[in-house]
Structure 1
Amino acid sequence: MNTVVVTAADQNFFSMLQTMVESVAARVDPDHVSIRVIDLGLRADQRAALSDKVESFIQVDWDIVWPFTPNLPEHKKAFTVSPFLPKYLPDAETIVWIDADAWVQTERAIPTLVAGAQAADLAIAPQIHPCYPDAVSRGKVRTFNVPLLRGRARRITSWGRTQLRRRYSRAVANAALFKPTYNAGVFAGRGDSPVWSVWEQAYRTARIRRPRDLSDQAPINYAIHTGQISVSPLPATFNWICDLRLPAWDPERAQLVTPAVPYEPIHIVHVLGQSKYAQHTIKSLDGSPAPVDVWGTPLAATAEPT
């Protein structure tokens, strides 16, 4: 089976891209799994540094065009390329996408994603775990003063509902209110899966009025929650969102694990959002500071800030 692990990055994401590529290369059989990178503005020396592990660097088009597209920087294509991956990877039987700010910690990660892609149209992890702060992703209750009613009106909302309401109908957004948000930073699909055409159509249907509306995650959640594709929902350990909860360190296994019993190994660590920029101290299971950072890099080898 020909499996392609693909990601995208520009020169500013190179250090993260390098960690991601090296983590995959160390844990897959190169005879069955290849690594390819969508080049959104890498320098020649950066491509050369990865050439022994990356099969090819791919240039992509604006496959969906809006009036503001000509003014967008190249790296914004990362938000639109996902539905068109079979176009750029025509020989791939299974496509595994991993964001450049994620890295693979275990050998189970890629085979599990591939197995999930064989069992359904799409393998993807919802942003749900007992250690995460919200059962509904970033759920909140908003209170409004309503003088004529002599009281307050309360409206429950969530990140997922807000994103869907911005791009689709109120009915679609409300129906998804208590449903999980699926994170599009890690997923897998067969090359011939219907997910790609459905995802493309969901993107074309979305109201995209300005660059900030570009999102591959909202359209795929729309496709999932409206029942247009089947999903293999993977555990959160296959896309651990560090921005929601930092992992813990198990010194016996020398692995990052979930920060609560039974301390499951985290297969893919996603250093999402502010977690990639802030300084973090990961705790070992005994409460002491861990000897690694959120990228699994030994702290002794981390350069001192200048």
Structure 2
Amino acid sequence: MSTTHVLVTGATGYIGGLMVPRLLEAGHTVRVLTRSADKLPAEWKDRVEVCEGNATERADLDRALTDIGLAYYLIHSMDGSGDFVERDRRLAADFGSAAKDAGVGRIVYLSGLHPEGPLSKHLASRVEVGELLMASGVPTAVLQAATVIGDGSASFEMLRHLTRRLPIMVAPKWLKNKIQPIGIEDVLYYLVAAAELPPEVNRTFDIGGPDVLTYKEMMLSFARETGLGHRVIFTVPVLTPWLASHWIGLVTPVDAGVAKPLVGSLVHEVICRERDLDELVGAPPGGPTPYREAVRAAVSPG
């Protein structure tokens, strides 16, 4: 793999925090843009260039993007406050413009897997962010993933706590919708490998594991893999995403402001329609990680 000078935004988040050491291992020189250097993980903080600043400020973006060949855009609004659609739209447009002016060679963005047609507000916003970055004039790879299975993933934590705390539950009918989850190791592999895409590539890519399951099947498989025993799940047609997010907030540590956009995306069936990225950068070593194997890795100590 060729090496380059890489910027990672969202480095204090779940994906960004795991991405940085992978990029360092691949030989890249890494810079992170963060509002607070004190929040960076100690295990790699001293191995990167730290640019303290805010992605909302053009001057901070210009400093962070100077001499950068590849930029990872891992900024999402998941706090449920304010007009996150407009906030994400403005952030993406400003980042794309600054990256173009700085001569960045590629942007990589992790978005959400989605079907055609009307989308939940949060998922539609993620799609729009990808479109804005691809329209910036900087070649952009938008990697679209469904539920990420890994310790620390908000969507996985929601599934984990629901399954553990409710041996019998009444749940929305859209728990029968089909989902193509992906293990965190595969997500990180694809994000790092996207650095090797040809310079003319400017498009979305669907990424997912080998299994297509309903959310209900995911919960039942999680229970089996973790020795929880059989779970009984009844589905009803009347639990709206808004009500469901507050229900989840009551029975899990996941904040309702985070749960709401996650729950909203579950009303859609999210299945990969193409695997083109495998053709360009290769599949993960050993092939895509099966769901149950990803669960075992996520709950294993250490």
What's the TM-score, normalizing by structure 2?
Answer: 0.36
Greater Rg, structure 1 or structure 2? Answer: 1
What's the TM-score, normalizing by structure 1?
Answer: 0.36
Which structure: greater strand fraction? 1
Which structure: greater helix fraction? 2
